């Protein structure tokens, strides 16, 4: 059974600092997604990672995927207040089903 773990669950950081959110999953998959959710809002797609070693960057966010380690990271560079949100990783099962399993989310608060 596929399980997805994110850590940390909560992250409070100062503006200008760097930090990394980790997403571990338990079975083989090469399809991993990152989403952002603002308070009271829906989810929006940030990154789609589809192969081992995939790296994608958008502004101050960079996501990577290591399928051998079953690990994805979301790195935040020089955080700004606008990045405050909850970030979810999701893994797509690729062995006979088409399920998506989400992590529990990382609630990020960037302090001015």
Partner 1 sequence: EAQVTQNPRYLITVTGKKLTVTCSQNMNHEYMSWYRQDPGLGLRQIYYSMNVEVTDKGDVPEGYKVSRKEKRNFPLILESPSPNQTSLYFCASSLSEPRGTEAFFGQGTRLTVV
- Judged by the rule CB under 8 A, the positions of this chain that interact with partner 1 are 6, 31, 33, 35, 41-45, 48, 50, 88, 90, 92, 94, 97-105
Termini Cα distance of the chain: 41
| Nearest Cα to Cα of residue 53 among 65, 35, 68 | 65
The residue among 27 and 94 lying less far from partner 1, judged by its C-beta, is 94
The residue among 26 and 104 lying less far from partner 1, judged by its C-beta, is 104
The residue among 46 and 79 lying less far from partner 1, judged by its C-beta, is 46
Biggest alpha carbon distance in the chain? 46
């Amino acid at each position: 059974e596929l399980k997805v773990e994110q850590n940390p669950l909560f992250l409070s950081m100062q503006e200008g600092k760097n930090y990394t959110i980790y997403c571990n999953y338990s079975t083989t998959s090469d399809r991993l997604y990152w989403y952002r959710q603002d308070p009271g809002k829906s989810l929006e797609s940030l990154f789609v990672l589809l192969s081992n070693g995939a790296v994608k960057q958008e502004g101050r966010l960079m996501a990577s995927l290591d399928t051998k380690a079953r690990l994805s990271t979301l790195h935040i560079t020089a955080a700004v207040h606008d990045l405050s949100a909850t970030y979810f990783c999701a893994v797509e099962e690729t062995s006979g089903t088409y399920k998506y399993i989400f992590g529990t989310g990382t609630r990020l608060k960037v302090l001015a």
